[in-house]
Structure 1
Amino acid sequence: MSDLVQCIDHGDIREIRMARAPVNALDTALCRALIHDLDTAIGDGVRGIVLSGGERIFSAGMDVPHLLSHGDNRAALLDSWQAFFGVARTLAGSRVPVVAAISGHAPAGGCVLALCCDYRVMARSVDPARPFAIGLNETQVGLVVPEGIQRLMRRVVGNYRAERLLVAGEMVAAERALELGLVDELTEQSNVRARALQWLQQLLALPQQPMLRTRAIAREDLVEALSPQFIELERFVDAWQEPDTQAALQALVAKLRK
């Protein structure tokens, strides 16, 4: 365990909590720490995992300033993206169920990680005028959504609705996310982790091997979606270097600094 991730055991369930202040932006180190702790949890024989984040932001997605700091260093850029997609593949391929406990906003990469989990419990904001939101807003910041990631969205909301959300880069308020199936349930912010644990405990009460085997079959399409042929990382990095993408990313960083 690193200082970027906290691990808390709840009996035979392990909570893996992202703890990179202030917004759990996914840089290379955090992604590698998550892979390590997810693999360690499986090696330790846990029966289920809760993936959690911050109280108001589950994860803000990829750390764009960190990625831009690589400049023209293609190897470093590839390494950072490989680490991120490595976390997604580790979650998708987990031999035990994983629940995302989403206590706040989950844009972009944060949404991707949640989509790789078995179940998503999201917080209901105490202020209805300022709901928490989740979604893949890549096109709004100049990024192409790879086919594999598009498949993750289609898997939970259907083809046409996924198209509309992805092309617009739309962030979806929690209540609408529930209606669309993007998340599985809403609860009070203070209850998100407890509810994630309860769902896992109910699942783990089933006969283990039939449940796990059925789960593995049901998730084969999820694992396939994240295979290299559908992510096309080299092509993705080529698009990252396009002038309009770089301009949009620089504008995003300028906005974040204000």
Structure 2
Amino acid sequence: MTTLIKRIDHGDVRELRLDRAPVNALNPMVCAQLVEALRGAVADGVGGIVLSGGPKVFSAGLDVPFLLALPDRDALKAAWEQFFLAARELAACPVAVAAAINGHAPAGGCVLALCCDYRVMASGPYRIGLNETRVGLAAPDGIQRLMRRVVGAHRAERLLVSGEMVESEQALAMGLVDELTDIDGVPARALAWLQALLQLPRKPVLATRAIARADVVEALRPEHIGLDHFVDGWNDPDTQAGLRALVAKLGK
């Protein structure tokens, strides 16, 4: 089986690197391996996890050409379920996870980053955001909750409705990411944040973190995602036209 998640240990911290060239598009195999890698890291007793991607693209989000080629609604729903399982695994991880956003992070890439505790992004012309409306999709309530949590209700509304992708400096200013650094240093800064956290008394930190992040876990509960309704929206003719236009544009 092809390994799509690289595991790199840095003392008590394990880096899990998305490794599906060229842009770390998320298909069910990537998502399943991410779930397995997260569970394995916890079972191995790591103190924290860095989730990285790159180069220049942290993750381009869901693999749209793959999803468009699926034979029926059941297969499509199963693929989306695997993605949301990976998001829930990140959100509910019992140890802190720092996202090393070393490049662009649209759509599903942004969702994974929002599920993490801390976000370090590459400075420069790299963009992050939930651009679903631009291809004819409505972001589920649970995903909107994640965005509101970090940027506030009014700004989240503006970003979500317009599907705007913001560059790293703007993302930092609005609180969508926590820190910027040069692209080659992103994983190291994420690692440094975790290592500083590990210097604090462990039990109180983990107990406080669990309380503080309860809303992240709650946001991703199935009733807040409404997967059947989301899949219906995906299959809407206007949405299909938008998605196929996107694929054609990417292919040029």
- TM-score band, normalised by the shorter chain? over 0.9
Q: Distance in 1 between matches of 2:231 and 2:149?
A: 25
Following superposition, the deviation at residue 55 of structure 1 comes to: 1.6
State the partner residue of 2:137: 143
Q: Distance in 1 between matches of 2:30 and 2:162?
A: 28
State the partner residue of 2:17: 17
State the partner residue of 2:92: 93
State the partner residue of 1:36: 36
Question: Of residues 205, 215, 224 in structure 2, which corresponds to 1:221?
Answer: 215
1:98-130, CA deviations, whole angstroms, 9 ceiling, x for partnerless residues? Answer: 0000110000000000000000000112xxxxx
State the partner residue of 1:132: 126
What does 1:35-114 correspond to in 2, within 5 Å? Answer: 35-71=35-71, 73-114=72-113
Paired residues of 1:48 and 1:200 also in contact (CA < 8 A) = yes
Q: Distance in 1 between matches of 2:184 and 2:68?
A: 35
Q: Distance in 1 between matches of 2:55 and 2:77?
A: 30
Following superposition, the deviation at residue 246 of structure 1 comes to: 0.4
Structure 1 runs (4+) greater than 6 angstroms displaced: none
State the partner residue of 1:121: 120
Following superposition, the deviation at residue 74 of structure 1 comes to: 1.2
Structure 2 residues without counterparts, runs of 5 or longer? none
Q: Give the structure-1-normalised TM-score.
A: 0.96
Question: Of residues 153, 156, 161 in structure 2, which corresponds to 1:162?
Answer: 156
Paired residues of 1:2 and 1:33 also in contact (CA < 8 A) = no
1:85-109, CA deviations, whole angstroms, 9 ceiling, x for partnerless residues? Answer: 0111000000000000011000000
Equivalent position SS for 1:211: helix
Q: Distance in 1 between matches of 2:26 and 2:10?
A: 25
State the partner residue of 1:234: 228
Following superposition, the deviation at residue 2 of structure 1 comes to: 4.9
Paired residues of 1:35 and 1:87 also in contact (CA < 8 A) = yes
Q: Distance in 2 between matches of 1:256 and 1:222?
A: 32
Equivalent position SS for 1:105: strand
Q: Distance in 1 between matches of 2:95 and 2:45?
A: 9
Equivalent position SS for 1:36: helix
Q: Distance in 2 between matches of 1:13 and 1:79?
A: 32
Q: Distance in 1 between matches of 2:10 and 2:159?
A: 36
Paired residues of 1:32 and 1:87 also in contact (CA < 8 A) = yes
State the partner residue of 2:205: 211
Q: Distance in 1 between matches of 2:183 and 2:151?
A: 24
State the partner residue of 2:6: 6
Please say if 1:199 is aligned against 2:193: yes
Following superposition, the deviation at residue 190 of structure 1 comes to: 1.3
The letter of the residue matching 2:214 is E
* Matched residue count: 252
State the partner residue of 1:128: none
Q: Distance in 2 between matches of 1:230 and 1:4?
A: 29
Q: Distance in 2 between matches of 1:154 and 1:236?
A: 20
The letter of the residue matching 1:95 is P
Q: Distance in 2 between matches of 1:211 and 1:234?
A: 37
State the partner residue of 1:27: 27
Q: Distance in 1 between matches of 2:247 and 2:181?
A: 32
Q: Distance in 2 between matches of 1:89 and 1:204?
A: 23
